[in-house]
Amino acid sequence: MTEQLRLMAVHAHPDDESSKGAATMAKYVSEGVDVLVATCTGGERGSILNPKLQGDPYIEEHIHEVRKKEMDEAREILGVKQAWLGFVDSGLPEGDPLPALPEGCFAVQDVDVAAGALVRLIREFRPQVITTYDENGGYPHPDHIMTHKISMAAFDAAGDPEKYPEAGPAWQPQKIYYNQGFNRPRTEALHKGLLERGLDSPYGEWLERWKTMGRERTLTTYVPCGDFFEIRDKALIAHATQIDPDGGWFRVPLEFQREVWPTEEYELAKSLVDTSLPEDDLFAGIRDN
């Protein structure tokens, strides 16, 4: 059955696939599952977040091409396929009041029109399972929120032959999940474990911020993938403009992470098959059918 299993991960920008669910994807690739990353934008308006590369005039002028090459390297590391939906990065608006979003960017597209590009890709690839972001985008970047909107619209429309007839024969995915890898239980467990071992924890500020946030997300699915954390980190480091290899992402030893919290977490948003919660497999309820 595994040769027939297909997973699509829908992400807003190049690098999101390596920071959200990357170990899960690498695990499924190792099992023979066909995995496709759908990247909505090219990350054209992304900042250079790695201080070692800030001020490089070539990167600043050619950020789109640079990020495309980074995506190619990360894709090879993860062993996944990857497709661009072709939308333009909206950037992260800052200030008070917030400025208007750039004309023509991803976040200002009509949802029904933009969802058509994803419907076409779903019908071509025919995934049983899709992962995406929740209604808050995981964090409130306009492109992440838009990614949620088109993912949910496309999940419903892809199986309806009367919708987007130009996008190919209908195909209905069976399950769609929200990435929830940055969650309070995981963060609390890692924070507590580090302090108990007399080690510094980078998670104290995160936990303080959580006190002011809204409701907790519901974690339904815990995918065991600790053996693939190293691949995850290598893929993330491949996005050199976005991540400092000496920065906070990599302060917690991998062996400690595997011991304390060896899973990546998801929230089941919709399922057209029967499954029992909690799950340890995104294909639960599908493998036997």
Judged against a pLDDT cut of 90, whether residue 149 lies above it is answered with yes
What are the Cα distances from residue 47, in Å, to 20, 89, 101, 145, 248? Answer: 19, 11, 16, 19, 18
The answer to whether domain 2-182+219-271 has CATH 3.20.20.70 is no
- 263-272: per-residue pLDDT in tens? 999 999 999 9
> Model confidence over 212-234: pLDDT tens digits?
776 789 999 999 999 999 999 99
The predicted structure's pLDDT at residue 205: 87
The pLDDT, as a whole number, for residue 3 is: 52
Average pLDDT score, the chain: 94
Residue 62 annotated as lining a ligand binding site: no
> Is 16 annotated as a binding-site member?
yes
Q: Is 141 annotated as a binding residue?
A: no
